[in-house]
Structure 1
Amino acid sequence: MGAAGSIDAPAQLAAVTRTVVFSNEEGQSRYSVILSQDHPLAARDLWPALSDAGRLAQWFAVVGGDLRAGGTYAIANNATGTIERCQAPLGFSVSWEYEGELSRVGVRLDAREDATTLRLEHVCDIDGEVYPEYGPGAIGIGWDLALLGLAQHLFQGASVPPETTGWIKDPAALEFMEGSSRAWADASIAAGSEEHHARMAQERCTTAYVGIG
């Protein structure tokens, strides 16, 4: 089953909590984009979609490598890295190398009696050109698209990532990315960013993303 035609983009945007955190470690300024979403599943039922290569290809991307603690991975046409920690079904953390830039991604599953909260955090250095130009949405929109794909896979049987289908050219997809970009600017302002700069970065980020459609 494809994803186009069954995507409730506004509902997915509303289902995710977005946070931006600024930090400084040993003189290095960093920022984190954090996404949290509740799913009405036990952690053990959610875990395979996050850790099995066959499942990942159905909502995220083709991921090769040795998918265990200490192993390496490679995402098709995207990042490579090392799996630094993996504790099923609680979470994992990986190094994330893309176009010569090194960052880190962590996923955590917090189980409750009737649901599990998926928390994803991507920590990057502020140095360089990407953050000043585009703000946290440069990374955040991509992860919003990934969580949209996950929700479609889990609950509607989608077997391909939505951005690889015709949906990405639909006005609803552009609206989703625009909404995500705006939400990440909101989160950046809430974290202390100057509003004018955050909104300018939002505009540039939105323009960069909607162009992929």
Structure 2
Amino acid sequence: MSEIVDQVNDIHREVGTRPVAAGEAHTVLLRRTYEAAAQDVWDACTDPARIARWFLPVSGDLVLGGHYRLEGNASGEILRCEPPELLRVSWLFGADPGFSEVELRITPDGPERTVFELEHIAVAPPEMWDRFGPGAVGVGWDLTVLGLGLHLRGGTIEDPAAWQLSDEARAFITRSSERWGAAYEASGAPPEVAATAVAATTAFYAPDPATNPASPADD
């Protein structure tokens, strides 16, 4: 495997549920340790200029209680901001998005080492969860965590859309989907349910070019 594909193994994943006012929410948790100072990780996740270099351009009133918008992606409100340790935002799509929040937790593990946690809590449409399971959002977050890690080391994927069509990206995505299937099964999902979710998630994010030349990046 390539150095990038190997990084799929650097992420710890958990799947669970949590009661919220809107009903029972599904949770996906990613944890990764970066060889970077906690302040640097915090700045990379909160400085608009840096966010645009490893994730997406962001605009809005980027203060506690303000609203943000990621270009071509989610928008929401900044619900908690406790530098340099915790950031929680609503993570919304469309006019009636339901309940969805993302929380980042940043914990120093020495002067140049940081434990980074990302938890996504959402009331997912049953038809989506039944088909894709946690990989529906988990694979996307794995790619995001990969991008952050490259940025913290001074690197980047120059053309993410082109890269996602590469064999390297397909290998990363396939292994990411499999890891989320394992986390899903560990949370109590029957093996056949987890396997079906892995197949659907992998087919969406990394369709076989021999049978489906389109990619999620083209949608």
TM-score when scaled to structure 2?
A: 0.87
* Conservation of the 8 A alpha-carbon contact between 1:29 and 1:126: no
| Secondary structure of 1:97's aligned partner | coil
**RMSD (Å) for aligned C-alpha atoms:** 1.8
CA distance in 2, matches of 1:9, 1:45: 21
Q: Which residue of 1 aligns with 2:188?
A: 192
Map Cα deviations across residues 18-38 of structure 1 (whole Å, 9 max, x no partner).
111123346822211100110
Cα distance in 1, alignment partners of residues 58 and 20 from structure 2: 31
Are 1:105 and 2:132 an aligned pair?
A: no
Change (3 A) 1:198 1:41: same
- Cα separation, 1, equivalents of 2:14 and 2:134: 10
Match of 1:203 among 196, 199, 202: 199
- The equivalent of 2:134 in structure 1 is 136
Matched, 1:86 2:84: no
| Count of residues in Structure 1 that have an aligned counterpart in Structure 2 | 205
Paired letter, 1:60: F
Q: Displacement, 1:158?
A: 2.1
**Is 16-25 or 144-153 further displaced after alignment?**
16-25
Displacement of 1:142 = 0.5
Q: Is 1:60 equivalent to 2:44 in the alignment?
A: no
Give, in whole Å, the separation in 2 of the partners of 1:171 and 1:110.
34
- Aligned sequence identity (%): 33
2:84 is paired with a residue of what secondary structure? coil
**2:169 equivalent to 1:176:** no
- Aligned residue in 2 for 1:119: 117
In the alignment, structure 1 residue 14 sits paired with structure 2 residue 20? no
Paired position in structure 2 for 1:3: none
Measure the CA separation in 1 of the matches of 2:175 and 2:156: 22
Alpha-carbon shift at residue 151 of structure 1 (Å): 1.1
Contact 2:22 2:123 in 1 (8 A): no
Unpaired segments of 5 or more residues in structure 2? Answer: 208-214
The list of structure 1 runs, each at least 4 consecutive aligned residues, that deviate by more than 4 angstroms after superposition, is none
CA deviation after TM superposition for structure 1 residue 201, in Å: 1.1
Per-residue deviation, 1:47 = 1.2
Q: Deviations over 1:125-159 (max 9, x none)?
A: 14432111111000000001111111111114327
| Higher RCO structure, 1 or 2 (CA under 8 Å, sep 6+) | 1
Runs of 5+ unmatched residues, structure 1? 1-6
Q: Read off the aligned partner of 2:156 and give its amino acid letter.
A: A
Task: Kindly state the Cα deviation for residue 170 of structure 1 after the two structures are TM-superposed.
Answer: 0.8
Three-state SS of the structure 1 residue aligned to 2:164 is helix
Cα pair 1:145 1:163 within 8 Å, conserved = no
Residues of 2 paired with 1:128 and 1:45: CA distance? Answer: 38
